[in-house]
Amino acid sequence: MPIHQRRPAKARADVKSSCANTVAAEVEEEPPSQQAATPISLPAEKKIKHKLSIQPSPPDTPTPRRRFKQLYYPAVTERQWNDWRWQIANRVHTLAQLEKVLDLTDRERHAAMGLQTKLPLAITPYFMSLLVGHGSDYALRKTVVPVVDEFVKSVGEDDDPLGEDTQSPVPGLVHRYPDRVLFLTLDFCSTYCRYCTRSRVVGHGRLFFNRRRLENALDYIRRTPTIRDVLLSGGDPLTLGDARLDWLLTQLRQIKHVEIIRIGTKIPAVLPQRVTPQLVKMLRRHHPLWMSLHFTHPDECTTESYRACQRLADAGIPLGSQTVLLKGVNDSVEIMSALMHHLLQMRVRPYYLYQCDPISGSAHFRTPVEKGLEIIRGLRGHTSGYAVPTYVIDAPGGGGKVPLMPEYVMGREDGHVVLKNYEGNLYKYPDCC
């Protein structure tokens, strides 16, 4: 029986009011969720129990994803599977759908039942296919499947720890640094990350791609000539259809003092099918355009993600990556180094490693700061300099990003600076000035 027919009425109503409809309402030109959702059609007892051999590094093949598709979406064609609108329309966003594929723990099940006022659950079928064959301790699963710890607010946590709401001159625009703004285009993402800094906004269906709101934000940028850099974020701007994104980029490009536009997106990791030749053809008309991609773990670097990044890079878009340091997900030198090496091969420059923001219910994701410093120590000098991101803390209250570095300057001695290298050896540099 189709999975959407199995949902109880309450669950169907919840779904209607949540993410899928958000897109239907916002993306009028290309509404993925208005397409008929294709049911997961296998009975529960046919869950994949074996561990699939997903290779984390090239030559990776899409075979495990194909197997997943055959098992859970047998009627779906390759063409549909590779259509980003189909992927969005068929996101896993209910407990019942999640349980069709994963054996949930009690902590996961109770969390999925109680998300009404929290960041919703949504995972693309593509990303779900990466989770099968792994247990509840699997890194990628922790990033997208909720657990009850999300409901526990610890000391020092806040729904808006970076004070973005107090630095917002017009709805959907954050103006913290004099020369750049954060432009929240919509609150929709194809897959919701459980550690999202903007979980107070994202997925709640209140920040629409609404022309009047966007015009207000554009007007603010037009009349503020100090703004030379606009970062489009959200939500995920690449969940907009090509026409809408093209319109917004065109408006921004017509503002003389806007030198560069950046797009922050997790699409290449969770919905690489979105990076179509048509999309990159449109994007390349708006140079100089940069992209900040969001990769968290080496297992996200699949063949499909490689192809998406290749298309973007071939379109001349400089790609950087922002990675959040997450306990039990990527908090080791080995994992981080594997991720950074993948990124370089994907022509993505590791840009920031973020200490996880103290958003409400994030204690289970946060590591001590010393862990981040240990990772940087384990990378710097041990691998290509390009593979070493800048480790930062976004200062709570809106202070901006503060870089953190391990101690390499050990002191001064007789007109010399005493330096420690990556192997721990000491060297003196004559500091004549």
Query: Does the annotation mark 394 as catalytic?
Result: yes
Distances in whole angstroms, Cα of residue 172 to Cα of each of 74, 183, 389: 41, 6, 28
Is 193 a binding residue for ligand SF4 by CB under 6 A? The answer is yes
In the complex, least distance from residue 195 CB atom to ligand SF4, rounded to whole angstroms: 7
Distances in whole angstroms, Cα of residue 198 to Cα of each of 44, 50, 165, 287: 34, 36, 11, 27
Of 202, 217, 343, 359, which lies in the binding site for ligand SF4, with binding defined by CB under 6 A? 202
Percent of the chain that is helix, strand, coil (3-state, to 5): 40, 15, 45
Query: Does the annotation mark 83 as catalytic?
Result: no
- The stretch among 233-241, 244-252, 275-283, 302-310 that binds ligand SF4 (CB under 6 A) is 233-241
Is 238 a binding residue for ligand SF4 by CB under 6 A? The answer is no
For residues 61 and 304, the answer to whether their CB atoms sit within 8 Å is no
User: Which residue in the list 100, 109, 198, 200 is annotated as catalytic?
Assistant: 198
User: Which of 368, 328, 333, 338 minimizes the C-alpha distance to 136?
Assistant: 328
> The sheet that has 180-186: what strands, in order across it?
173-174, 180-186, 229-234, 260-265, 289-293, 319-325, 349-355, 390-395, 400-404
Please state, in angstroms and rounded to a whole number, the distance separating the CA atoms of residues 91 and 15: 11
In the complex, least distance from residue 187 CB atom to ligand SF4, rounded to whole angstroms: 8
User: Which residue in the list 109, 160, 193, 356 is annotated as catalytic?
Assistant: 193
In the complex, least distance from residue 294 CB atom to ligand SF4, rounded to whole angstroms: 6
Q: How far is the first Cα of the chain from the last one, in angstroms, to the nearest whole number?
A: 78
Please state, in angstroms and rounded to a whole number, the distance separating the CA atoms of residues 95 and 84: 23
| Contacts to ligand SF4 from residues 342-381, by CB under 6 A | none
SS3 sequence of 356-387: CCCECCCHHHCCCHHHHHHHHHHHECCECHHH
Is 196 a binding residue for ligand SF4 by CB under 6 A? The answer is yes
The DSSP annotation for 317-369 comes to --EEEEEEE-TTTT-SHHHHHHHHHHHHHTT-EEEEEEEPP-BTT-GGG---H
Query: Does the annotation mark 219 as catalytic?
Result: no
Q: Which is nearer to ligand SF4, 234 or 378 (CB)?
A: 234
Q: Which is nearer to ligand SF4, 90 or 124 (CB)?
A: 124
Is 262 a binding residue for ligand SF4 by CB under 6 A? The answer is no
User: Which residue in the list 85, 91, 118, 176 is annotated as catalytic?
Assistant: 176
In the complex, least distance from residue 384 CB atom to ligand SF4, rounded to whole angstroms: 27
Is 198 a binding residue for ligand SF4 by CB under 6 A? The answer is yes
Q: Which residues pair with 363 in a beta bridge?
A: none
State both tokens at 195: 């550690």
**Close Cβ partners of 142 (under 8 Å, ≥ 6 residues apart):** 194, 326, 328, 329
Q: Which is nearer to ligand SF4, 38 or 191 (CB)?
A: 191
Q: Which is nearer to ligand SF4, 69 or 93 (CB)?
A: 93
Please state, in angstroms and rounded to a whole number, the distance separating the CA atoms of residues 310 and 106: 40
Give residue 264's identity as a one-letter amino acid code: G
Is 140 a binding residue for ligand SF4 by CB under 6 A? The answer is no
Q: Which is nearer to ligand SF4, 294 or 311 (CB)?
A: 294
Is 340 a binding residue for ligand SF4 by CB under 6 A? The answer is no
Of 192, 351, 352, 391, which lies in the binding site for ligand SF4, with binding defined by CB under 6 A? 192
Is 300 a binding residue for ligand SF4 by CB under 6 A? The answer is no
Is 235 a binding residue for ligand SF4 by CB under 6 A? The answer is yes
In the complex, least distance from residue 266 CB atom to ligand SF4, rounded to whole angstroms: 4
Distances in whole angstroms, Cα of residue 325 to Cα of each of 131, 196, 280, 335, 398: 20, 12, 30, 11, 20
- The stretch among 71-79, 192-200, 312-320, 425-433 that binds ligand SF4 (CB under 6 A) is 192-200
Query: Does the annotation mark 177 as catalytic?
Result: yes
In the complex, least distance from residue 216 CB atom to ligand SF4, rounded to whole angstroms: 21
Alpha carbons within 13 A on the beta-carbon side of 352: 16
The H or E element that residue 299 is part of is: none
Of 162, 174, 182, 189, which lies in the binding site for ligand SF4, with binding defined by CB under 6 A? 189
Is 92 a binding residue for ligand SF4 by CB under 6 A? The answer is no
User: Which of 26, 418, 17, 6 minimizes the C-alpha distance to 237?
Assistant: 26
Q: Which is nearer to ligand SF4, 184 or 218 (CB)?
A: 184
User: Which residue in the list 69, 180, 194, 311 is annotated as catalytic?
Assistant: 180
Query: Does the annotation mark 198 as catalytic?
Result: yes
User: Which of 263, 264, 338 minimizes the C-alpha distance to 296?
Assistant: 338
Of 266, 297, 342, 366, which lies in the binding site for ligand SF4, with binding defined by CB under 6 A? 266
Q: Which is nearer to ligand SF4, 192 or 351 (CB)?
A: 192
User: Which residue in the list 65, 73, 138, 189 is annotated as catalytic?
Assistant: 189
Binding site for ligand SF4 (CB under 6 A): 189, 192-193, 196, 198, 202, 234-236, 266, 294
Which residue numbers are catalytic? 176-177, 180, 189, 193, 196, 198, 357, 394, 401
